[in-house]
Structure formats: C-alpha cells, structure tokens
Structure 1
Amino acid sequence: MRKPYVYITRKLPEPIVDQFRLFSEVKMWNSENLPVPREVLLEEASKADALLTMLSDKVDQQLLSVGKNLKVIANLAVGFDNIDVIEATKRGVAVCNTPDILTDTTADLVFSLILMTARKLVEAVDCVKSGEWKSWSPLFMAGADVHHKTIGIVGMGKIGEAVAKRALGFDMKVLYHNRNRKVEAEQTLGVTYQSFNDLVSESDFVVCLTPLTEETKGMFNKETFRKMKHAAFFINASRGAVAVEKDLVDALKNGEIAGAGLDVFVKEPIDLDHPLLQLENVVALPHIGSASVETRLAMMKRCCQNIELILNGKQPLNVLNM
C-alpha cells in the first residue's frame, strides 16, 4: 500500500519534514525565501494527497481542479484568503489553518508597531547608526505618548483581545469594533464597543486586525482617513487590501493622519519604489506578525498534525470547512 504524497510549498526545517516522513512520502520546494513557481505548484498538486501551503500560494479553482487526489490543504497561517474554501468544500478537500498558536506573538508585534510609529524608533535607530546624532535638544526625535491614549481595535478576535490586554497595561482607553459585539470581552477587559465611524474619529491609534473579506476590502479609504484625528496613527497587521494604499499615502502626505505602522501590503513583497516607503512617518515590516522561532515551529507542527489526522480519516485539530 502506497504512502500518501504530501507536497510542502516552502523549505521547512528537517526535523519538521522528518515528522511528515513518518506517515507519508514528502517533497518540498527547496527555497526559504522564494515562493514555489505556479507551474511547479500545479504539477505537484496534480499528484498530491495533501498540500502544506503559504499565504503566497494561490489555491484557486484551477489548482483544485487538477488536484484530483487532494484530501487536505493545510495553510501555515490563521488567514486563508489565498484559498478558495468554497471550491475546496465542493470538491471534498479539507482546509486547515493554525489559529490560537500565534495569538500572543502577533499581538506583541502589533504593539511593537504602535511603539515604533509613535516614538519614531526606526528614525532614532537610523539617526544613531548614520552618525547624525550630534547633540541633545528639547524636541529632538520627540514622538507621541502611547500611555493614557485611546486605541481603537477593528476586528476583535483573539489577537484583538490580546492587543487590548497589552493596551490596558499602558493605561489606554480601549475601543473596539467587530461584526459581532463581544460582551464577555467588555466585561472581563473593560473595553467599549463603538461604531466604525465613531471608533476611527475618537482613537489615537486605529489598529486593523480584521480578516480580509468582500466587506472589509478597502474599508480604510480616503473617507475613513479623513475621519481620523490629525495626530492619530494607523496600524495594520491584518491584510494589505483592507486599506486603499493610494488613499493612505495621500492622508500621510497631507497630514490628515500622523503616521502608519504596516506589517502587510496589497502586493508582497512591496516594491522598493512604492510611495509608502518614501515617507518618514511610515514604519514598514515584511509581514512578520507571527515570526518568532517558537511560534513558527508550532505552526508547522500543527499543519503536520492536521494533515496526518485527515489522511488517517480522523478529526483534525483545526478545519475551516468540516
């Protein structure tokens, strides 16, 4: 009896791959930094029983139509906007992700972005390393306080709640907007529900953590940024397409908002000549929300567990389309 065939779309550490070898024949795209070419992915999908995919891998109708043997796709992420879940469900292919594991790690990164943008930390580091630090002066590298300010969290899932806990440690007032009210979070954390428009107009830091859907795509646009305080900061650690990047650039250039901290972009990697990268009041990171060694290894292990369980006809730990 043949072992099931698993294809991994990015190079993973050998100890993780060894876990796959215990129950499957496994092949892996041998690059840590470059995505698997589309033609290679389609060829492997045509043979595979399972795929371990990255956010950069488009799992669409074309891929699913050639994946005649596919039983499971395990996405190394919480988000799954790269996968056509409806089409996968029609074809009887389970789609798994990695929730819970990366909650605190991502929340740490979000709060890091808040501090980096408000306190001009990237500019300060560059100033020292470039030799531009000549003396001390009263307003030299003076940024904005974070403590006792108002933070507005759009998308109050588990990561949003974890960010709220960190904000409370800075004595911040926490507002949130979510598709559904989180009464338990209001009671346990003391956070306050607001309409989207009220949240963006009242907050000093507007943090986007909502998933990318048809409803959320482009929700941060020209009108939204004009409702924000001139001294407010926009923080995005969800998906780049929730913001209209041209409108964000205009808002930053025109002083409609004070700055932005971004871990995600519409196109990733972002082009070096993108207008956002030319602005001093933008902190740009390479989509590293969950990028700690401990968390990423745990995400890989969870993908392996889910694939093994499904291939053995058992209930997976995380599945989006049961």
Structure 2
Amino acid sequence: MKPSLLVLIHLDDTSRARIEGAFDVIYAPDAAQRDAAISAHGATIRTVLTNGTTGLSAAEIDQMPQLELISALGAGYENLAVDHARSRAIALANGAGTNDHCVADHAFALLLAIVRDVPQLDQATRAGVWRDALPLQPNVSNKRLGIVGLGNIGEKVARRGAGFDMEIGYHNRKPREDSPLRYFDSMQGLAQWCDFLVVTTPGGAGTRHLIGETVLAALGAQGFVVNVSRGSVVDTAALARALCSGTIAGAALDVYEGEPQPPEALLALRNVVLTPHVGGRSPEAITASVDNFLRNATRHFAGEPVLTPI
C-alpha cells in the first residue's frame, strides 16, 4: 500500500502524476479543501507536501497522529511549525538548491527591468513615444551591488553581478569565511554603500521588516531595491513612502506582504515592477523540486535520512 500524502500546494498535471505514482494523494491546494481533507483523512496521513508560504500549523500537525514526514517543495519554510514537528520526531525536508538558478535569474531580470525602466519603455513605444521624449536611465554594469543574505541564491546573484562588472558586498548575521566578497555588519552600512540592494534572505520573524525606513533612507535617491526572498522582509508601507517621496529611485518585487493580493499602495506607482511570486518557477525548477521531494520521501520510508533536511 502506498503511503498517504496530503498535498497543500498547486501542482501541474505532470508533477501530480509523478507524485501519484509513489503516494496515495489527497490533493487540497486551497483553504476549504485543506480543512476538509485534514478532517476526513487526518488519521491516516503520513506525509505532507507544502511550501513556505502555505506552511503547516501546529494544530494541523496534531490532527495527523501518523504524520512522519513534512516537506516544503521549495527552500522556504517560514510558515511551517518546525519546532512542533520536531517535538513529535517528524522528519522535515525542503527543496534547498532546486530553484536557486531560477530565482537568481529572476532577480537580475527584475533589476534590469526597474533600473532600465523596461516596462515603462515598452508602454511608451506602444503609444508611439520616441526616445527623445523619455528620461535617460542609468547603467546596471559597473555599479555597486548589495546582497542581503549570502546563501545559495545570494551567491548566484553575486556571480551574475560579477558578469556585469559590479562591485559586490553583502550582509549576513555573520561573515562567510569562504567568501571573498566585502562584508557589512549592518544593513544600513550595506545600503549606504550600494547602488542596488537585492534581498535574498530567508523569511520569518527574524527578518520581518528588515528593509524599512532607515535602510531605505540609507539606500538613497539613486538607489533601487529588489526583493526575491519573502514579502515580510520589506516593510510595504515604508517602501511606498520612500518611492512616493523620492527617497529611493525604484523597487522591483516578486514577493510582497499579503500575497496573493498585490500591495495596493504600490499599484499606481510607475517606479515599481511587480511579479506574482514566480522567481523560483520554471519547468526546470519544478522538475528538480519534485525530483528532490521524491528522493527525500524514498529515503525516509527506507529508514534513511533525507538529503535536504530542515
């Protein structure tokens, strides 16, 4: 008999078919289905597949007495009750490393789009406006790139920045001994130094509103911020004020507070580029994430440790 798996996130048909080959799947990708599925099947569920945004609460875990493996499809797990799961000796895994290149690609796409004003130039061209009537936009190359969170994704953003001949610095809780990049021990120091601030740090209580009024003021009137981490890291209200007042030049966000609803305060602003949390989504990334989940599950049910533990 295949183990029972509760899937709390949207899966495309191909991914779902692959997973159904290994599990008895209960598919509940929205809130109403989720509550009904846990009520009806909680007693038999052995595995849950979720992601950082969707998460899994302690109360939900307690409704599943046979639960033994929780996996986040991507790298994030900020809304997963990790400590509670560990107290029940439930194995925890994520998709670390499966979509890093995709997110780093998207971060640079957003950076180029906002600095070079690509969306507005596209609209102007369609309206018949020629370049002489449009403002000049700055270079991206040969500028200073600040990275908030030099993890796997941050490192890949740095490598792309090097291809643009950028000077690169970063801020972590502590310096990376294996990194030759310039380390800043404060967010304000990094923001004041750089032209472009790219946010790739994990979400969660420890980084909530890390990018707020003080950091944005330090970034300055010629500065741009890009967020491909979690929406909670950037204070939306402070960002809106900074964009409206000219405190910073622009922002590009793939993630934002209140997802899936886009931030109302930013929608009318021309110096903002928004995408709907797709930075880690591509055919290649999804395939790799599903592969990773299946490998972890196979190892777990064979009595072996998962490859990408939380």
TM-score (normalizing by structure 1): 0.90
Question: 1:82 — aligned with what?
Answer: 79
Aligned: 1:210 with 2:172: no
Question: 1:6 — aligned with what?
Answer: 5
Deviation at 1:11, TM superposition (A): 4.4
Asked whether the 8 Å contact 1:51–1:74 carries over to 2, the reply is yes
Root mean square deviation, CA, Å = 1.9
Question: 2:239 — aligned with what?
Answer: 248
- 1:45–1:127 Cα change, 3 Å: farther
Q: How does 1:150-189 map to 2 (within 5 A)?
A: 150-186=144-180
Question: 1:118 — aligned with what?
Answer: 115
Quick one: distance in 1 between partners of 2:37 and 2:51? 12
Q: How does 1:135-150 map to 2 (within 5 A)?
A: 135-137=130-132, 140-150=134-144
Quick one: distance in 2 between partners of 1:141 and 1:125? 14
- 1:35–1:118 Cα change, 3 Å: farther
Q: How does 1:294-313 map to 2 (within 5 A)?
A: 294-313=284-303
Which ranges of structure 1 fall in alignment gaps of 5 or more residues?
Answer: none
Residue of structure 2 aligned with 1:226, choices 207, 217, 223: 217
Quick one: distance in 2 between partners of 1:15 and 1:240? 29
Structure 1, residues 223-256: CA drift from partner, whole Å, max 9, x if none?
2211112110011111111111101100000000
Match of 2:92, SS state, is strand
Identity %: 28
The letter of the residue matching 1:163 is V
TM-score (normalizing by structure 2): 0.93
- 1:278–1:41 Cα change, 3 Å: farther
Question: 2:267 — aligned with what?
Answer: 277
Question: 1:98 — aligned with what?
Answer: 95
The letter of the residue matching 1:59 is L
Structure 1, residues 93-132: CA drift from partner, whole Å, max 9, x if none?
1111011121111111111111011000111222234xx2
Question: 2:254 — aligned with what?
Answer: 263
Asked whether the 8 Å contact 1:124–1:141 carries over to 2, the reply is no
- 1:305–1:126 Cα change, 3 Å: same
Which ranges of structure 2 fall in alignment gaps of 5 or more residues?
Answer: none
Asked whether the 8 Å contact 1:9–1:41 carries over to 2, the reply is no
Match of 2:131, SS state, is coil
- 1:41–1:124 Cα change, 3 Å: farther
